[in-house]
Structures are given as structure tokens and as C-alpha cells.
Structure 1
């Protein structure tokens, strides 16, 4: 009798093994794909949000994409980090919003059906910025972009090749920027007086410390804050929380520092992981 019962139990366990194994396999969370546009900064943001998802227990991998919202439509990626202003320009080229919050609101309104936006980083942005020498700031009478507006006729801007720069700042229509091959030659020309304003971005780690970045207190240039886009109905509350909590720890200085490390040759994933170890989420 005991042998018969033992044999029956063994047979039952044998039959259940594939089922139980299948359940165990199905219980493993799926790997979420985070998209990153071409370029080191986009790769850094992709790894930062992927690290945030892993921080809360979701496996995540980064894959290179075109970096535009339409990649979410295909389902090839679930999350796509980027910048509010650039996303808005892509989705609605005629948008006029410039202030950070309004840019975010207009972006949310412009998103295609099936795509949502997480929280944007109020303290972290990387939007176009004008850099001048201390002598120019003194001559123009200030270190804010309003000084450019007052001295519009004297402005002689320069920019690194392929950089998209505003043609108009407030009421000032700027002449076409003189093009330079890299940051080093751009800032050298600024110091030499070949130009008197150099286009850069607020989180560019290459800006020399002896030069002045004109502040934009009245939002004359469109905001470009970090924001994650994601496919609706694909993330649970914990995963959305992971994305949103980046907004609480990331600022422009930290973004510039991480960009500097990547420019020096460090792996973007390692840089992102180190940042979250030093700035834990949920605190």
C-alpha cells in the first residue's frame, strides 16, 4: 500500500514538474527596453532611467534608437528619456511655449495616443545657452539674456557645427552663427574676439570656468528639461515611480558632471549606476 501511494505521488510530481517550472519561468519579470538616441548624452540618460528601473527591481536594458517619440509607437522600446523642448519641437514645430512648465504641458498635450510622460526634472536642463567673456558681460551691462536683447545689434555669435541654435532670442534676431569644428576652437575664438557670444548648452561640461553663461531668468529660450516618455498601459505603479523619482535627484550640475565623465571615456552605464548609488531614490 505504501509503495503504491509513493508511486502515485512520484507520478503526480513528475506530471506537475513542467507546469510548476513553467509558472516559475513566467513569474520572472520581463526586461524593459529603454531607448537612447544617438550621442553620449542620450546614452547616459538611457542608462540613468534603466538604472532607476533596476533600482526598484525591474530588469532593464538600453538600446540605441533615433531618439524621437515615434519609436514608442512601434513597441520596440517601452521607455524613451529625452528633453521636453526637443520632444515638443519634434511633435509640434509650431509650438511657442518657452517656460519650463508650459513646455512640459504643451508636450503632454502633443503626445500621440498611447504615449505618456513621466515627471520632468525641474532642476535639470540642457537647453541652448550663450557664453560670453567677462569683458563682454560688463560692456553689455549684465549677465542675463536681457543684456543680449539690449545689445542685439552688437552680437556676433558662434557655434559648433551641427548644433541647432535659436535664430531669435526674445525680440533679438541674431545673425547666422559662425561655425567652428569643436568646443575648443569655439571658445578660443570667443577669447580672441572673433565672436563675442558662443552658443553652448546649460549642461555642457566643456564651458571654461573663466567664461560667463548668460542666465535666462525670463525664459527667452525654450526650456529643455529631462523627461521620460513611455508606452501607456505597459508599466506598473512601481515602474512609473522609478522613472518619476529621477526628477527628485537630478540637477543641471550633476548632469554636466556625468557628461564630463562620459566625455573622458567612462562607460555611461557605470556613470549612471554610480550616480544613483550616491543619490539613492526614495529618500
Structure 2
């Protein structure tokens, strides 16, 4: 399968993430850790899951990781809007994707690079909430198009499409829209002549149609159909910077499509060092390929808790 651009690279320890969040947020000046400021009370941790199958899967993954630390964890499924429930302390932790969460807490934010989105999310959270490290796994918007046409158009990056959008039809999946794809294209001055909806299974076939670009996400099962010999190709975006990049990386162009890395948001003072260490299982091990495979199993009818537990059992302590 063609490698999907922008899978976040090296994962930092949770403690390093906390320091990054502190440095990013002026309101946290002088703090050593917004997570470890108090010992966590010995109460049941309630992990909230939204109504989508992938939200249930993520909740089960984080619940399984936390249970490995020896605490009592419950999953509350089918929460219509987990974010307000977390704000109201009805939930202890919700998993999600960095870009979607940022859009929820700061709708005007325009960060796209993985580190920038993470830091903007840290700043946007209410004082009683915090985050730990994100995983490389993400469900990010991605564009597909006919390989020969991309060459004819002299398009090598997503940003190169902007001047041609008025002559193109964009056929997009629902996930592409929820991942901020259409909003990001508009911010990049890409305004297609037409936008139509398609099912994910149609992605590769539709991308071969004349003057058509397809928008899906990095967990799309359709991407498995694409390899170096396929007539359809992903359209590369500008790469995310790495936390280890030097200052010159700040001059590099940012991606057009916002990062959507898996991350937990939780209430301060509810997790101690053992639980934060347990979260490293996901931050350090969960990849986009893993997430794609696990989501496919759930969509085919496998029990999300069983799927999550099997992944945790395989990767805990890795």
C-alpha cells in the first residue's frame, strides 16, 4: 500500500508531552506538570465513547490500557456529545483525534501540523482538563487522484491543487468532512466547482474519473487497493515537523490537511503516574495501520472490547 503522508513520527514520553503542553500554554507558566500536580483519588475512571464505532473502539483501547495499571475502569458508550460530558465531570477521560478535538474547543484554530495542532489543543482546553501524548495513529483527511493526471497538472503536493480547484470535482466521504478536509481546502483557497458525497468503498474507482479528486481519510480500507503500480495515487501533503527538527523547520510549509492523531483528554488530578505510564502503550505503539485494521474488524461486527483487549495484550509492555 502506498505510504500515507504525515503519519506522526517519533513518540515522546508522556512526561515530555506534559512539558510541551506547559510550554505551549501561557496559562500554565511555571508548572512542572498539569497532570501530576496532585495524587489521584482512588475512584472509578469513566471513559466516554461517542456514538460512532471508532469512538467505541478508542474508548475500549484506553480503558484496557488503564485497567492494566490495576484501577477500576468503566466505559460509558453511546454518549451523544462526549466533550460537554467531560467538561461537566460526568466522564473522566475521552479519547479522540487532535484536530477534531481542537475544532471543538477552538473552532477558529487553523493549525495543521501535528505538533502545532497538539499544542493548540493544549492551550484551548479548560483549566480542569489536560492531555497526554498523542499516538502516531491518525484518521487524517487524504486526497486521491489519477496518477497520470497529477503529472499532467504538475501537482506534487496538496497545495499545488489550489489553482486548479475551480475546474475540479471533489468527491468526498463523510469522514473526510469530519476530519476537517473541506474546511482546510477552503482555507487554502481551493474552491471546487462541485463537491459530492461518496461512500468510502467507491474512493479508488471515482478517483479515476476525469477532473475528479477524491477525499477520504488515512484509515480508509480503500487505500489498501493502492500500490506503486495503481493508476490512482494519494496526493502528498507537506510533511509534519518532528519534535526533534531544528528551528529551520519553522520555515517549511505547513500541511494543508490538519493532523488527526489519537489522543486522550482527561480531568486533572484523576490519573497518577501508573495510569499515565499505561497510556504510553497507546501513545508509543498504536499506528495508523493498527487503527485501520482494528476499525475494519469492528465495522465487520467484531466486539470492540474484545478487539481492543487483544491489541492491548499484544502490545502492553512492548
Q: TM-score, normalised by structure 2?
A: 0.72
- Residue 196 of structure 2 is aligned with which of 172, 176, 179? 179
> Is 1:206 matched up with 2:242?
no
Distance 2:75 2:97 in 1: 17
Measured after TM superposition, the shift of residue 43 of structure 1 is 0.8
Note if contact 2:168-2:213 (Cα within 8 Å) is conserved in structure 1. yes
1:33 and 1:68, CA in 2 relative to 1: closer, same or farther beyond 3 A? closer
SS at match of 2:58: helix
Distance 1:81 1:222 in 2: 18
Distance 2:154 2:304 in 1: 40
Distance 1:259 1:201 in 2: 13
Q: TM-score, normalised by structure 1?
A: 0.80
Note if contact 2:221-2:292 (Cα within 8 Å) is conserved in structure 1. yes
Measured after TM superposition, the shift of residue 137 of structure 1 is 2.9
SS at match of 2:182: coil
Q: Residue 286 of structure 2 aligns with which residue?
A: 250
Unpaired stretches in structure 2, ≥5 consecutive residues: 1-41, 239-253
1:161 and 1:105, CA in 2 relative to 1: closer, same or farther beyond 3 A? closer
- Residue 126 of structure 2 is aligned with which of 112, 119, 128? 112
Q: Deviations over 1:128-170 (max 9, x none)?
A: 1111232333333355313423543443201235833324436
Q: Residue 19 of structure 1 aligns with which residue?
A: none
SS at match of 2:296: helix
> Is 1:95 matched up with 2:95?
no
Note if contact 2:165-2:192 (Cα within 8 Å) is conserved in structure 1. no
Note if contact 1:100-1:222 (Cα within 8 Å) is conserved in structure 2. yes
Unpaired stretches in structure 1, ≥5 consecutive residues: 1-28
- Residue 259 of structure 2 is aligned with which of 216, 223, 232? 223
RMSD over aligned Cα atoms: 2.3
Structure number with the bigger relative contact order (C-alpha 8 A, sep ≥ 6) is: 2
Measured after TM superposition, the shift of residue 46 of structure 1 is 0.4
- Residue 43 of structure 1 is aligned with which of 44, 53, 56? 56
- Residue 165 of structure 2 is aligned with which of 148, 152, 166? 152
* Bigger-Rg structure (1/2): 1
Note if contact 2:99-2:117 (Cα within 8 Å) is conserved in structure 1. yes
How many residue pairs get aligned? The number is 252
Note if contact 2:161-2:190 (Cα within 8 Å) is conserved in structure 1. no
Measured after TM superposition, the shift of residue 186 of structure 1 is 4.7
